[in-house]
Chains A and B, each alone.
Chain A
Amino acid sequence: KQEVTQIPAALSVPEGENLVLNCSFTDSAIYNLQWFRQDPGKGLTSLLLIQSSQREQTSGRLNASLDKSSGRSTLYIAASQPGDSATYLCAVSSRGPTGANSKLTFGKGITLSVRP
């Protein structure tokens, strides 16, 4: 059974700091890994998707890496801003119980607060 862990549950940093959010998963047989952002009372916004054959993806100030063999991913946020304050969720897609389908397994998320 796939399990995804994100530690710590919350993080507070001053504006301008570079930071790393960690995600670990127990089963390395994944199809892809997706990082989401959730603002309070809002839905999930996809930030980056890394396919299982890839090592990293970049979008603006965000860089996500994937080490499938060790079951780890990191989301690097450069020069953090107050607008980056949100909950960041990591999710992996892997084969479902019947073998023919797949689903996302989520971590609990990391609530980030960037102080002005």
Chain B
Amino acid sequence: DGGITQSPKYLFRKEGQNVTLSCEQNLNHDAMYWYRQDPGQGLRLIYYSQIVNDFQKGDIAEGYSVSREKKESFPLTVTSAQKNPTAFYLCASSAWEDYGYTFGSGTRLTVV
């Protein structure tokens, strides 16, 4: 079955560490997105990519980095520069002209 897979489901990070969240899709979607969701706030866009080897900053890109070396994969690195990384991270993908996003099941990141 086609879908989008995020891993790990839960991740604990120590202060000062970089961590990478995985996102893989087999839907043949061109566009991929990373969102962050905090309690009481709507989804906020971190980065998005419309084609391989290209990506754009979203509203809250500071402290994050991404790569898009393959169409299927869009990993997100949460760097030590991100001061408040504890959140629910959601990866999504869509066809180029389609706003109907398919989301992965998310990664809950906690700083310990």
A-B interaction: no
